[in-house]
Amino acid sequence: MSDIKKVVLAYSGGLDTSVILKWLQDTYQCEVVTFTADIGQGEELEPARLKAQKFGIQQIYIDDLREEFVRDFVFPMFRANAIYEGEYLLGTSIARPLIAKRQIEIARETNADAVSHGATGKGNDQVRFELGYYALEPGIKVIAPWREWDLTSREKLLAYAEKHGIPVEMKHKGGGSPYSMDANLLHISYEGKVLEDPAREPEEDMWRWTVSPEAAPDAAEYLELEYARGDIAKVNGVAMSPAQVLTELNRIGGKHGIGRLDLVENRYVGMKSRGCYETPGGTIMMRAHRAIESITLDREVAHLKDDLLARYAALIYTGYWWSPERRALQTLIDDTQMVVNGWVRLKLYKGNVTVVGRDSSTDSLFDAAISTFEDDGGAYQQSDAAGFIRLNALRMRIAARAGRK
C-alpha cells in the first residue's frame, strides 16, 4: 500500500494528463486533486472539469492565472530582454514556475502529501516543475509518471486511453498521435511528428496563431506602445492590463505573420531538440523594449544588462526561477527599469517588426545638440577626442613597442 494518500495533479485535460489521472488512481490507490491553470492557452477549460468528474475527482481547481502570469512572470522576464540561445523567447519555460507555485498552494490547501506532473523524463519541464516544488515546499513528494510507467510512447498512451475510455481530441489528420503542443498567452510550441527530423520543413497547417508572411496583409500596420518602468502600459493610446496587452499584441502580430520560429535547442538534460514556436506578441515586445531602453538607459547599465542576459535566460530555461541568484538578478534588472518610460512606434509588415520611432519626454538621454552632424554651437569639443583615443591606445602602443604581436 502506498504511503501517498492525496496528490495534486497539474491537469490539462489532454492526452498525457488524462492518462496520468487514471494511472495515479490505479497505481497509487490515492485521492487525486486536479489543477488546471488558465494561462491563456485559448482552449475551453470546462472539458477538463468534465473529464475529471468522469473519473470521480471531488476537488477540481480551474484557476484563471492570466493576469498573474503576464504581470509577475512575463513582464519581469522581458524587462531583462531574456532570450535563450539567441532565438528562443522562453514561452514554455516562464509558465512552469507559476504552475508549480499554484500547485504547491493547492497541496497546502487540500492537505495533499504529493504533487504530480505530465513532463517526460527526456525533457526540461520535469526539472522546471520539480525545482519549483522543492524551492517552495522542501518536503513535498513528487510523482513523475513518465519516469515510472511503461507507457513509453504517445502511441502507447493512445492505446491506454482507448482501453480505459479516455476521450482524446485533436488526432493528427494523417492518423497516429498529434503534435506535442504547449500554449499560453506568450506562445504556442510544437514538437514531435515530422519535427523530429530537423531537415524537414514544418507543415503549413501546423501553425495556429500566425498566418504565413506570404499570406499576411500587403499593407504595413503601425503600432505605438507606451512604457512605464519597463512595462507596456498602453497600446495605441489605450490603457490595458498586462494580459490584455499581450492578448492584443498576439492578435496584431499573428495577423502580420510575426513570431514564427523553427529551432534546434540544447535541452538541460543534455540532448538537442527540434521545436517550432509562435510568439507574435513576445516578438513585438522584445523589439520595442530594446528600442525604449536605447534612449533611456545609461550605456554601461545597458551593457551590464546585456552581459547578464544569457545567464538570466539560462536560469529561466533550466527552471531556476525561484533560485536566489535569479531573484538577485531581478532586483538589479528592475532597478534599471525605473527610467524606462516613453513610447515606441513600430511598423509591422509580412513577418517583420521594424522600429520607426521612440521617445521619452522624462527620461531620454538622447541629446540632439551633442549628437548632431550640424553645428553644435560648442556643445561638444571634438578636440577632446584626440587625448581620449591616445589614452585608450596607450596599453597597445606599449605592447607594440615591446615587440608583442
DSSP of 350-396: TTEEEEEEEE-TTT----HHHH-SS--TTSS-TTHHHHHHHHHHHHH
Helices (H) and strands (E) in the chain, counts: 13, 14
Residue 40 lies in a domain: yes
Host domain of residue 19: 6-80+89-178
Catalytic site residue from 12, 16, 231, 260: 16
Segment (H or E) for 69:
helix 66-69
Per-residue pLDDT, 177: 47
The structure's pTM equals: 0.94
Final residue of a structural domain among 134, 162, 178: 178
Same-domain pairing of 224 and 166? no
From 12, 93, 116, 180, the catalytic residue: 180
What was the pLDDT predicted at 173?
43
Residue 265 in domain:
yes
Q: Are residues 149 and 192 in the same domain?
A: no
> Is position 96 annotated as part of the catalytic site?
yes
In a domain, 347, yes or no: yes
Are both 195 and 173 inside the same structural domain?
A: no
Active-site hit among 66, 79, 96, 260: 96
Strand residues in 201-259 grouped as ranges (E): 221-228, 231-235, 238-239
Whether residues 150 and 35 share a domain: the answer is: yes
* 125 in catalytic set: yes
Domain assignment of residue 215, yes or no = yes
Q: What is the CATH number of the domain that holds 278?
A: 3.90.1260.10
Same domain? 161 vs 101: yes
User: What distance in Å separates the CA atoms of residue 59 and residue 157, rounded to the nearest whole number?
Assistant: 25
Domain assignment present for 365? no
For residues 203 and 236, membership in a common domain is answered with: yes
Helices 96-110/125-136 angle, 10° precision: 50
Please tell me whether residues 132 and 187 are part of one structural domain.
no
Residues whose CB is less than 8 angstroms from the CB of residue 36 and which lie 6 or more positions away in sequence, other chains included: 11, 12, 13, 45, 48, 49, 60, 61, 62, 63
Number of folded domains that form the chain = 3
Active-site pick, 125, 177, 231, 326: 125
Parts of the chain with a pLDDT under 50: 170-177
Single-letter amino acid code for the residue at 340: V
Q: What is the grid cell recorded at 378?
A: 560648442
Degrees to nearest 5, angle at CA 193 with 265 and 320: 35
44 domain residue, yes or no: yes
Within a domain: 327: no
Q: Is 314 exposed, middle or buried (0-12, 13-18, 19+ CB in 10 A)?
A: middle
The answer on 136 and 235 residing in a single domain is no
What is the 8-class DSSP label of residue 204? G
CATH number at residue 71: 3.40.50.620
Query: φ, ψ for residue 284 (rounded to 5)?
Result: -65, -45
In this structure, the answer to whether residues 339 and 217 fall within a common structural domain is yes
Beta bridge partners of 405: none
280 and 241 in a common domain? yes
Query: Both 224 and 187 in a single domain?
Result: yes
47 and 33 within one domain: yes
| Residue 325 belongs to a domain | no
